[in-house]
Amino acid sequence: MLKILVVEDNIIQCKQLVNFISKSILELKLYSMTFTGDEALEIIKNEDVDIIILDLVLPDISGIKILEYIQKNKLYNYRNSIIIISGEAYKHPELVKNQYINNCFQKPINFDVLIKNLENLIYEKKNNIIKEKINVELSYLKFNMSYKGTKYLAECIYLLYNRELSKVNLSKEIYPILGKKYNTNSINIKCNIFQACNNSYFECEQDILEKYFNLPICAKPKTMELIIEIIRHIK
């Protein structure tokens, strides 16, 4: 479950916002609602939240100052994770290009539009979490992350994450999707993945392979076997 921080100095509006989000999106957990910039900054400095709803006009430091702190300290976990809701949003058109801003809304807010925006952001964040977990597993198995084949394999795993794996044919169903995306053919996708898997097998320590695949003597796994194990470890 993702955690959200709501920063709004109007207590009534803040509670209305929190209540509406809580009723509409069960996948979001309220981490905190704060009414001052100092309180928000303390949380941002010391805690880990996934999404921030931020007013720009606060009684102490402004929302702009909070954004400047995040940028200056390169808190990349907040990239594309901040939603601005402010009556002053129109005064800051430059925020649209800010890498930390997901969207800007002018008050009074349309709650239905906000909820749709949050749902899209949650979907994107969950997908990014899955992709990051896939990359962690591939790195652990000594895949070279700069190889094309590793990139293709990571996308295969992502595409298959929620599929019934016993019914999947990589060559017929998955490789053509990647071939179309990267303007190449399925054979090239397959060969690149095979080479990446082959290099990983010889680079990775034998005890890691044996433990990962739960075999006393680890024979080189086939691509589909590898995908199944990685998904099993992630889930």
Mean pLDDT of 139-144: 97
Question: CB 183: neighbour CB atoms within 10 A?
Answer: 6
Q: What is the pTM of this model?
A: 0.80
Which among 217, 186, 220, 187 is positioned nearest to 201, based on CA atoms?
220
> How far is residue 103's CA from residue 95's CA, in Å, rounded to a whole number?
9
> How far is residue 17's CA from residue 4's CA, in Å, rounded to a whole number?
12
Query: What is the pLDDT, as a whole number, of residue 42?
Result: 94
Helix 223-234 and helix 148-160: axis angle, to 10°? 60
Residue 217: band (very low, low, confident or very high) from pLDDT cuts 50, 70, 90: low
Digit-coded pLDDT (tens) for 105-128: 988 889 999 999 999 999 999 999
Mean pLDDT of 129-143: 96
Q: Judge whether residue 220 has pLDDT over 90.
A: no
> How far is residue 27's CA from residue 51's CA, in Å, rounded to a whole number?
12
Q: Judge whether residue 148 has pLDDT over 90.
A: yes
Measured CA to CA in angstroms, residue 30 lies from 6, 36, 72, 112, 188 at distances of 8, 17, 26, 18, 47
Which among 68, 76, 81 is positioned nearest to 28, based on CA atoms?
81
Which of 43-52, 64-73, 175-184, 217-226 shows the lowest mean pLDDT across its residues?
217-226
Question: Do residues 146 and 216 make contact, with C-beta atoms less than 8 angstroms apart?
Answer: no
Digit-coded pLDDT (tens) for 2-56: 999 999 999 999 999 999 999 999 989 999 999 999 999 999 999 989 999 999 9
